[in-house]
Structure 1
Amino acid sequence: MHISIASILWGLGGNCILNWALLFFQRKHLSRSFLGVFSVSLAVVDTLLTLSITSLHLTAEGHLLGLKLTRYHVCLLVQILGEVYITLQWPVVVVAGLDHFFTVTRRWQASTRRSVCISVSGLLWSLSALYVFLSDFRPIMEEVFHIQIHQCWVFQISHILHIATFLLMLLGCAAVHAGLQTLKNPPLIDQITDHSRRSVVLQTLHIYLNTWALFLVILAILLLLPVEIPAYLGLSVAWLCFLNSLLIAVVLCAVCPASQLAQGRASVPPDSFCAWRFIGGQSTTTQIKRKQVSC
C-alpha cells in the first residue's frame, strides 16, 4: 500500500514517543527480562530511523560516507526495516517464551541474565537483517525523479494478529487442559490445594483479562475488519508489553507451579501492567488441623 512520507514520519514520531514513555514507565524492570532489553533496542532503532528519514525528507538529499542519499533511500529504509520487523516477530515470541519459562521454573541465574539478554537481542537483530539482505527481498520504488517522491510503497503485516490469535488459543487450551486434569485427578488430602492447578489457571486468566480486555477487543476488531497495518509499525514497545503479559499467562497456565507458589519458590517474570499476585499458599492438611482445633 502507498503511504505519504509525511504520514510515515507522523506514525514513526508518535511511535517513538510512545516507546520511550512506556520504557520510562517500566524502567525498573528493563534489565530483568529479554523483552525489557529488546524493547530498549527497538526504541533506539525506531528513533534512529525516524531521525534519518526526517533529515532526508527535509533536505531532499544528503551524503553519508561518500554515498548520495535521496528520498529513494527514505522508501528503501522504511521497506527494509519493515521486512526486518516481520522477520523478528516469531523469533522474539519464542525467545521471550523460553525466558519466561526459565524464570518461572527458576532455571535462570540472575548474575548472567542481563548479559545473555543483551547478547541474544543483538544476535536477533543481526540475523534478521542478514536474512533480509540475503533473501529475495526486492524493494518497490517509484519511477520518478527523487525530488518528486512524496509517498512510499510499504509492506503490510499480519503476523501480529496471527501471533495474538495463536497465543490466545494456546492460553485457552492450557486452561481447558488444567481443568480436565483437575477433574480426572482430584488432589489428595495431604497435597497442597490452595494453589491447585485449577486455582492457578483461574487466577491467571482473571488477572490477565482484567488488564488487557480492552486491548483484546481492539485486536478482535482489527482481525474482523480489513485493517492494513504498515510493516514499519509492526514492532513497538506497546505490542511487546501486551506480548509480555500474554506469554506470562501462557507459561503460568502451562507450567502451573501450584506447589512452588504455595511454598514461595515460584518466580513470576516482571510485568509493569499485570499484578501477578496469587491468593492462598497453605496446605489442606494445615487447614484441616486448624478446623479440628477450632472444633
Structure 2
Amino acid sequence: MMMVFCENSFLSYFPNGHIFQPSDASGVLLFIMTGKVLLNVFLLCVRRQNLHQSFMGYFCISLALLDLVLLVTMSFISHFQNFMLLGIRFTKYHTCLLAQITAFTYGILHYPVFFVAGLDYYFTFTQPLNSAAVCRRWLYTATVAFTWISALCYVLSLPGSAIGLDVNHYNSAYNCPFYISSQTYWFSLGMLMIMCLILILCWSEIVDTVQSVKVITYESETVLFFPYDPECSPRDCAKHLLARLLICFISTWVPFVLLQMLIVLLGAQIPAFIEMNVPWLYFVNSFLIAITYWMRRRHLKVTEETLEADPFVSWKFCLVPFRCQYIDKAQKSTSKIVMC
C-alpha cells in the first residue's frame, strides 16, 4: 500500500491555519504528549463529581482516552523504530504522521464541539431531560463518537491528502510539520472581548458586588457569598446577575484568562494537537454555562442537577438568592475549599 501525504495540498483545505516545523520531532512529540496526558488525567481527577451529565463532559473523557492511546502508540513506534506489522514497515516517520493526523482532526473540532455543547446546555437547563440516565449516557456517547468519526473521515477524505505509510518519505527529509489552527485564537479573542464588554457595561455593579462579597463555608464548601441583593428593575437585576457570573468565572479561571490574554496579544503559535486539551475544554465549558445561565435566566429550571452542571465553578450562589438568616448556618458548616 503506497500513498503520498501532501502537506501543501492538505494545508490548502485549511486556509485559516499554517504549518510549524520543529527540529527534533520525535522527542518533542513524546515529551509534549506525556505532559498533556498527565495534565488531562490531573484535571479529570480533581474535578467535582457533578450530577449533570453533559456532552462536554463525555467529550473531555474521550479526548483524554484518545491522547493516552496516541501516546502509547507513538511510544511503541519510537521505541522499536523500524518494524513490520501487517505487512507495513513502521519507522519514526509514522510517529510524526500520527501527530499530523491528530493535529488536523483536533484543529477543526473546536467550533463544532462548542456549538453542540452550547445547544446541550441551552435546552437541558430550561427543559431538563426526563429520560433515564442510561439513555442519556448512550445519547452523549453516540454523539461524541459521531463527532470524532466525522472529523476524522473529513480529514482523511480531503483530495490530495491520502495518508501514506511510505518509509521512503521519511528517508528523504525528516520534517514534522504541525498544523496550527486559528479556531482557538478567534474563540479566545471572542471570549476576552465579551468579558471586556461586560466589564464596561456592568462596571458599577461589579464594583458594588466585589465590595460586598464574602467568603463563607456552606454545606462543606468554601464559596463566594453575595449579600448585595437590591430591589431592582428586570434590566438592573440582569446586570447584577451578569456581574456575579463574571466574578465567579474569573475567580476560578483567572490563570487561564491571563494565559489567553498572553496568547492573543503575543500571537503565540501552538500546534493544534496541543491546543485541544481537557483544561481548555473545561475553561470554555464554564464560559458556555455562564452565558446559558444569563441568556435563559427567565426560563431556567433551578434544580440541583442544573446548578451542579460545572465540575469546577459553583454557580448556585450566583443564581439562588440567599437571605441573612442562612449566613450563620453557612459559617458553621465544615469547610472544604472549592473556589466559586
**TM-score scaled by length of structure 1:** 0.79
Could you tell me how far apart the structure 2 residues matched to 1:30 and 1:80 are? 35
Q: Which amino acid letter does the alignment assign opposite residue 19 of structure 1?
A: N
Deviations 1:118-164 (A, max 9, x none): 11000000000010011236479999774797652211122212112
Asked if residue 62 in structure 1 is aligned to residue 83 in structure 2, the reply is: yes
Q: CA deviation at 1:11?
A: 0.5
In structure 2, the partner of 1:159 is: 183
Q: How many angstroms does 1:26 deviate by? A: 2.3
Kept in 2: contact 1:200–1:258 (CA 8 A): no
Mapping 1:115-154, distance limit 5 Å = 115-136=138-159, 138=161, 146=170, 152-154=176-178
Whole-angstrom CA distance in 1 between matches of 2:164 and 2:192? 35
Is 1:267 the counterpart of 2:306 in the alignment?
yes
Q: CA deviation at 1:196?
A: 3.3
CA contact under 8 A between 1:43 and 1:237: conserved in structure 2?
Answer: yes
Post-superposition Cα deviations, 1:212-257, rounded to whole Å, max 9, x if no partner, equal 2221111111111132101211211111110111111111222224
C-alpha displacement at 1:40, in angstroms? 1.0
Rounded to whole Å, the distance in 1 between the matches of 2:202 and 2:305 is: 18
More helix by share: 1
Structure 2: unaligned runs, 5 residues or longer? 1-19, 204-230, 324-340
- Where does 1:180-199 land on structure 2 (aligned, <5 Å)? 196-199=237-240
1:209 aligns with 2:232: no
How many pairs were matched up? 271
CA distance in structure 2 between the aligned counterparts of 1:109 and 1:176, rounded to whole angstroms? 40
Query: Aligned in 2, Cα 1:55/1:149: closer, same or farther, shift over 3 Å?
Result: farther
Q: In the alignment, does 2:93 pair up with 1:72?
A: yes
RMSD: 3.5
Shift of 1:275: 1.2
1:244 equivalent to 2:285? Answer: yes
Q: 2:123 aligns with which of 82, 97, 102?
A: 102
Q: Is the 8 A contact 1:100 1:248 kept in 2?
A: yes
Report the Cα offset of residue 271 of structure 1: 1.5
User: Residue 273 and residue 149 in structure 1: after superposition, are their counterparts in 2 closer, same or farther (change >3 A)?
Assistant: farther
Identity of paired residues, percent?
26
Residue 198 of structure 1 deviates from its aligned partner by 2.6
The equivalent residue for 2:55 is: 34
